[in-house]
Amino acid sequence: MSASASPQILNRVYDFVDILRDANVSISTDEILSLCNALDHTTVDNRRIFKQTLQTTLIKDYTDIPAFEKCFEQFFLSRERDERIEEIQSEALGRRPNGEGLSAAENRLEHELGDSMDSYLDSISEKLLLQKDAQELLALFMEEMEQAGSSGGMGIALFKTRRSMFARDHSEDEVPATDEERELYGRLLEMMRGRSGKRRIGRSIKNHEQYLLNKYIYQLKPHEIKEMREVVKRFGQKLKNRISLRKKRVKHGGIDVKRTFRASLQFGGVPFKIFHKDRKIDRPQLVVLCDVSSSVNQYSRFMLLLTHTLQSLFSKVRTFAFIGNLVEITGLFMEMDPERAINSIFNDTDFTYGWGSNYGRSFDQFMEQHSDSLTKKTTILIIGDARNNNQDPGMNSFIKMKERSRNIYWLNPEKRHLWDWSDSIASLYMKYCTNMKEVNSILDLTEFIDRLFIK
Amino acid sequence: MFTSIDDVVEALAKEKYISSEEIATTVYLALKMEKPVLVEGPAGVGKTELGKCIASALDIDLIRLQCYEGLDEAKALYEWEYAKQLLYTQILKDKLSAMLENEKTLSQAVARLTTQEDVFFSEHFLLARPILRAITGSAQSVLLIDEIDKSDSEFEAFLLEVLSDFQVTIPEIGTVTAAHKPFVILTSNNAREMSDALKRRCLHLYIDYPTRKLEERIVSLKVPECGQKLTHDIVKAVHKIRELQLKKEPSISETLDWAKALVVLGYDVMEHDIAVSTLNCLLKYEKDIELAKKHSKSIFIE
Ligand SMILES: Nc1ncnc2c1ncn2[C@@H]1O[C@H](COP(=O)(O)OP(=O)(O)O)[C@@H](O)[C@H]1O
Ligand SMILES: [Mg+2]
């Protein structure tokens, strides 16, 4: 296991880090350094070891592992994978892939051109990047460079390449392109292909994620729902980090006299040990009530998944699910992962009893059995379409819920113009809510949660 | 010290720990790079066991710090033995009185006493807890910080300081720097997310449930009485059961329990009825057992 981290390998690895970053995986300089370090100790000949070396040094959040695997597969195991891995391996042995070396001036020129290409690719829209092939992108790049008026070695190189391109498109051209020009063109095209391909991998993974986050939840296909769970967890995690950063941390409160005194008793009343009060951070208490009937089931599932991920941001989270009856599911969430917890609710027969949602009865039951969960610090979050199947709305209980809590927010997955239509009694409840809001996508859900912490 | 990744695999196997190439890679790198490892994964996949086996494979001390809510520096690093200090002041009362006899004012007495306070704040009265022991040890040790997700974030911040320079300042004594940096392994069942700063300092290892092949090897190693055929059947069934929507998936230790039970009962192949009647070795919740029974045909008979 000799030192294998040659500059060429490092370049490949930097490319890979860029791809991961494009795919929304955050990687710090520390981690890149540690990877470079690690490459001195392992070998690139064994794909599993090579992959684990990357993973163990770069990926610190296990929810990023699926994204990492996709990126690795596409970057190292795609069409060009054999070339890439071979290239790395041959470089490890000190061979150069293309035989001849480049002169120092050529090297510098290539470097300069590469930088310009990078900044060009950074500047263009995602759509352009994903739709155009390398040849088209190169043409666009050259146009741009010409307009910017490049001079010196770079100007000449671009001019020559343009002639070669032009000659290719109009075969009966007056000035035939020279071999040198053709070669230059080939090399630029290669550079563009590498760069744009690299960017596409990361972006397309990220785009897919964005697409899922923005998609109407009721339109998600079954296989997307599965993927979505991962995305929600990941996104929730990021949201959590962001919110925790935003919160000011107060290290200690004052001295906890009671505790200090109590502890001093065993030492004859001498306060050897001073206890401080726990630091106070404003963590809201949350009560979540989810309608899990089939019309809004998927929304509730994602919301539960999200609040579960964010649990530590709240001082207390209590979770209830209802259709015809209401049950507390806080405990379930403590013993198993949220997806399972939700599934197990549906195996419970008293719970599914009756036809359709009964908001009124559920609110009554909440006030009768669980009103202890409400304090003036509690934020109540209700998810449902307020379709009460023409039953008693339980207004008395709902008004009490409002009076005994700080806020009631209602997230309604239904389009606004359908509120109050048929058996929906949205406005009736809305009067007593701090806010009733239409939510369509995961992004809506997370934005809402995010805002809870801004005040 | 391990000489290669293969060497890690072999040395751990000698300690009856079956490691994948991935696990071995991270362990090897962490030792070479002198970095802590954060091991995450579901309960019962062998995180704690890994730490123990590394210590015995390297033939060095294992110092384990089990985390819990409210764990603080006093329990992790050091504590003054107040009671002992108090006892000594009682015993030495006469000596102290004699010493202070000639001091006229209270402040003079205090000043006099202060010149002697080193006696009471010396190593004699210091109770070293796991982290301090790992730092002051006369040889390298494995410091296993188990289930860090159960501790509070304040503790994590403190740990980060220790991990960055392996030195600890005890105001009354001075700064202690590790002569031999311990090899630090942190484990977490993901009850809580660790801070970015801590994760950046560590190599990361995610251990998931093992592949069938690996789990078969673990069973044959730990329950050698369990024949090849039975081992194969057990592991195959466990993997199918893990795919059900259970409250709690069976972990490796449950697989091992099940294997032992079947051996004790004298079976060498798995039959449907036996499997169903012994499911309680594998699954802890009544609901999960019912669910597995519901699917028993597809689990135990092709
Ligand atoms: N790779 C392995 N090789 C051998 N035994 C293992 C392995 N993984 C797990 N085990 C067994 O499973 C049991 C549970 O492992 P443990 O380390 O306590 O899990 P965790 O700390 O991840 O919750 C251990 O007693 C050990 O015997
Ligand atoms: Mg453990």
What are the pLDDT digits (tens) for A244-302?
Answer: 655 534 444 567 777 777 777 777 777 767 776 655 456 678 899 988 887 777 788 88
Q: What is the DSSP letter of A257?
A: H
Q: Any residues with CB less than 8 A from the CB of A131 and at least 6 apart, and which?
A: none
- CB-based burial of residue B34 (10 Å sphere; 0-12 exposed, 13-18 middle, 19+ buried)? exposed
Q: Which of B37, B219, B252, B260 to mutate to test the pocket of ligand 1 (most atoms within 8 A of CB)?
A: B252
Task: Report the distance separating Cα A21 and Cα A231, nearest Å.
Answer: 16
CA distances from residue B255 to A443, B235, B239 in whole angstroms, order as listed: 41, 7, 10
d(CA A136, CA A383): 49
Residue A225 pLDDT > 90 = no
Q: Which tens digit of pLDDT belongs to each residue from B276-300?
A: 999 999 998 888 899 999 999 888 8
Report the chain B residue with the minimal C-alpha distance to residue A345: B247
In 3D space, the residue among B13, B10, B57 whose CA is nearest the CA of residue B31 turns out to be B57
Residues with CB under 6 A from ligand 1: B 16-18, 43-49, 187, 218, 222, 252-253
Q: Can you tell me the distance from the alpha carbon of A311 to that of A454, in angstroms, rounded to the nearest whole number?
A: 17
Instruction: Give the model's pLDDT for residue A311.
Output: 72
Q: Output the DSSP codes for B188-215.
A: E-SSSPPPHHHHHHSEEEE--SPPHHHH
The pLDDT value given to residue A251: 43
CB A206 within 8 Å of CB A24: yes
More confident residue, A95 or B131: B131
State mean pLDDT over A229-236. 75
Query: ipTM exceeding 0.90?
Result: no
The per-residue pLDDT for A96 is 41
| pLDDT for the residue A165 | 65
**Separation between Cα atoms, residue A369 and residue A330, nearest integer Å:** 14
Is the pLDDT at A98 greater than 50? The verdict is no
A49 touches chain B (CB under 8 A): yes
Residues in B touching A344 (Cβ below 8 Å)? 245, 247, 287
Q: Which of B23, B253, B255 best tests ligand 1's pocket when mutated (most atoms within 8 Å of CB)?
A: B253
Q: Average of pLDDT values for A217-239? A: 74
Percent of chain B with pLDDT over 90: 56
**Higher-pLDDT residue of A407, A304:** A407
Share of chain A above pLDDT 70, in %: 76
State pLDDT tens for residues A292-301. Answer: 887 777 788 8
- Are the CB atoms for A212 and A220 separated by under 8 Å? yes
Measured over the CA atoms of residue A141, residue A144, residue A146 and residue A148, the dihedral's sign is negative
Q: How confident is the model at residue A186 (pLDDT cuts 50, 70, 90)?
A: confident
The pLDDT of residue B207 is above 70: yes
B108 vs A210: CA distance, rounded Å: 73
Residues B23-54 pLDDT 10s:
999 999 999 999 999 999 988 999 999 999 99
Long-range pairs, B265-271, Cβ under 8 A, ≥24? B267/B230, B268/B227, B268/B229, B268/B230, B269/B229, B269/B230, B269/B233, B270/B230, B270/B233, B270/B234, B270/B237, B270/B300, B271/B300
Give the mutation candidate from A52, A63, A264, A336 for the B interface (greatest B CB count, under 10 A).
Answer: A52
The stretch A401-430 carries a mean pLDDT of: 89
d(CA A185, CA A139): 11
Q: Is 50 exceeded by the pLDDT of residue A187?
A: yes
CB of B39 within 8 A of CB of B189?
Answer: no
Distance of CA A43 to the CA centre of its chain: 31
Instruction: Show contacts of B109-118: CB within 8 Å, 24+ apart.
Output: B118/B172
Give me the pLDDT at residue A249, please: 40
Residue to substitute from B1, B4, B5, interface A, most A β-carbons within 10 A = B5
CA distance A58 to chain B (A): 8
* Average pLDDT score over residue span A181-202: 80
The whole-number pLDDT of residue B164 equals: 84
In the structure, what pLDDT confidence band is assigned to residue A162 with cuts at 50, 70 and 90?
A: low
At A154 the pLDDT is 66
Which pLDDT score, from 0 to 100, does residue B153 have?
A: 79
Per-residue pLDDT reduced to its tens digit, B212-257: 999 999 999 999 999 999 999 999 999 999 988 788 889 999 999 9
Residue A424 gets which letter from DSSP? B
| Predicted local confidence at residue A94, as pLDDT | 45
